[in-house]
Structure 1
Amino acid sequence: MEVQHRQTTLGLIGFGAFGRLVASAFAAHFDIRVCDPARAEARLDDGRLLALGSMQEAASCDVVVLAVPVARMRHLCEVIAPMLRPGALVLDVGSVKLAPVAAMQELLPDHVGIVGTHPLFGPQSAAQGLAGHKIVLCPVRGTAHRRVAAFCRWLGLEVIIETPEAHDRDMAMVQGMTHLIAKVLAEMGPLPDRMTTASFDLLRRAVGMVENDPPTVLHAIEAANPFAADLREAFFDRAADVRARFET
């Protein structure tokens, strides 16, 4: 008699651009159930349809991925807390880690494992696949981060284990400055694309990779990161100093 093994279920809460990327990458490895009240269907870019169900169906899976804006994390944790099954693993994928991790620790039941994650890529940068990209893992509760790390490495990702605070400090510069500069340049109008230098082409590429991100991403990076404000002020102070050199 052939023994049939049950495929691990993955509940994906949120099916925006990054939620679709997660689903595309994991569809071959998990039985995915999607919950997103704003969607009439959960269709991948290649045309495949995933099961679209209720919050209860997604939250009762073996692995639950919270792919929602950082500002909604606390409320979502309150909603799904009584729905999570013992032994489940909950992960978020937010650009900020301190606030989401604190919410998950406080509001999710002790019988679930928790890992904070931040994939350092998006739908545009990972359009050709995940291999070679980076992901940050923040162990929160339990030892499941070891399995998550092993799986990510198997997918070809470079895994960085870090604390939420260290993550947010670095991201205030890495993402905060990138998005801030991109936002300013994008609002200055179309960038030249014919008479360009190699360095300017790299700048245009950086702007293009983030300028179409939804407002919720910019808000998380610039407003929800507790270290971003001081860094912005330091940046503008130094920009003012540079500007003054040419006005005297």
Structure 2
Amino acid sequence: MIGIIGFGRFGRFMAKHLMEDFKVRIYDEIDSADSIRSAGAIPVDLSDVCKQDVVILAVPISRMKFLLEQIAPHLKENALVIDVCSVKIYPVQWMEKILPHFTSILACHPMFGPDSAADSLVGHKIFLCPVRLKTPDYRKIKAYLEAKGLVLIESTPEAHDRELAFSLCLTHFIGRGLSACGAKPLQMDTEGYKRLLHILNVVQNDTWELFYDMHRYNPFATKIRLAFMTAVQEIEKELEA
């Protein structure tokens, strides 16, 4: 039995796929029980969702620490807690500090979402870091994910955040900039411009909360963002020379 805390866009997307193989119970402090039932899952309260063998945390990064403090007293012995945050250093530190010693911990970041994987999971990447997890259990999880066609990337939280400062944070920053300057499809477009618009399409369905959180909680994001802005300013100076 799997429990999911959080029924936003990614929580719904994840539940849809997991329900193909497991019974899924969901807790969300905002979404109604009827909405969860209509998706085919079972709505439960917070204490009940914590009683499941696997508890997946699908909440905004800024709410993660408080949620961990809420669920810690209710988790069953040997429960596996999985986070799916788009940053890793801070969530891993919080989980190690707050969760009971008898729980297993897997840090996870599916590097896709409801839009990019709308047609299939096959070929999409997922980051994994077994923070506190027995090897046989970890092997089962990897085998399950590989059977779904996912490409596994095993690394450290620091390595994850360093790379994602470029591949995620900077991409979203550029996408927000394109949106703010009014970029849109044009009759006389170019292949390069269409590729730029693809970035815009990737980020436009994500919330501002996700955007703020990935920049606030990734310790490498500010440096990369400022380096990009400096580079743009230098290019502007060249044009004005």
TM-score by length of 2: 0.95
SS in 2 for 1:235: helix
CA deviation map 1:65-122 (0-9, x unaligned): 0000011111111111111111111100000000111111000011111000000001
Q: Which residue of 2 aligns with 1:111?
A: 102
Tell me which residue corresponds to 2:163: 170
Which residue of 143, 154, 171 maps to 2:147? Answer: 154
**Could you tell me how far apart the structure 2 residues matched to 1:137 and 1:125 are?**
19
Residue 235 (str. 1) matches residue 228 (str. 2)? yes
Corresponding position: 1:73 with 2:73: no
Flag the 1:108–1:136 CA change in 2: closer, same or farther, 3 A. Answer: same
- In 1, the alpha carbon distance for the partners of 2:60 and 2:217 equals 10
Residues 209-230 of structure 1, C-alpha deviations (whole Å, 9 max, x = no match): 1122011210122111000011
Matched, 1:247 2:219: no
**Matches of 1:44 and 1:166, distance apart in 2:** 36
For residues 4 and 147 of structure 2, the distance between their equivalents in structure 1, rounded to whole angstroms, comes to: 21
Which amino acid is the alignment partner of residue 22 of structure 1? M
State the partner residue of 1:5: none
The answer for the alignment partner of 1:12 in structure 2 is 4
2:210 equivalent in structure 1: 217
Instruction: Kindly state the Cα deviation for residue 48 of structure 1 after the two structures are TM-superposed.
Output: 3.6
CA distance in 2, matches of 1:229, 1:159: 27
Q: Which amino acid aligns with 1:167?
A: H
The CA deviation at 1:156 is 0.6
| 1:23–1:44 CA contact under 8 A, matched in 2 | no
Instruction: Indicate the structure with greater helix content.
Output: 2
Q: Where does residue 29 of structure 1 map in the other structure?
A: 21
- Residue identity in the other structure for 2:74: M
In structure 1, what is the equivalent of residue 176 of structure 2? Answer: 183
Q: Where does structure 2 lack aligned partners over 5 or more consecutive residues?
A: none
SS of the aligned residue for 2:77 comes to coil
- Residue 199 in structure 1 maps to residue 192 in structure 2: yes
Segments of 5+ residues of structure 1 without an aligned counterpart are 1-8
Partner SS state of residue 246, structure 1: helix
Contact 2:183 2:197 in 1 (8 A): no
| Distance in structure 1 (CA, Å) of the matches to 2:156 and 2:185 | 40
Is the 8 Å Cα contact of residues 53 and 78 (structure 2) preserved in structure 1?
A: yes
Could you say which residue in structure 2 is the equivalent of 1:83?
A: 74
Q: Deviations over 1:168-222 (max 9, x none)?
A: 0000000111000000110112413321112211211121111220112101221
**What RMSD over aligned residues (CA atoms) do the two structures have, in Å?**
1.5
Asked whether the equivalents of residues 36 and 43 of structure 2 are also in contact (C-alpha less than 8 Å), the reply is no
User: What is the CA deviation profile of residues 12-62 of structure 1, one whole-angstrom value per residue up to 9, with x for unaligned ones?
Assistant: 0000000001001100111111000201136479x5431111001111101
2:133 corresponds to 1:142: yes
3-state SS in 2 of match to 1:49? coil
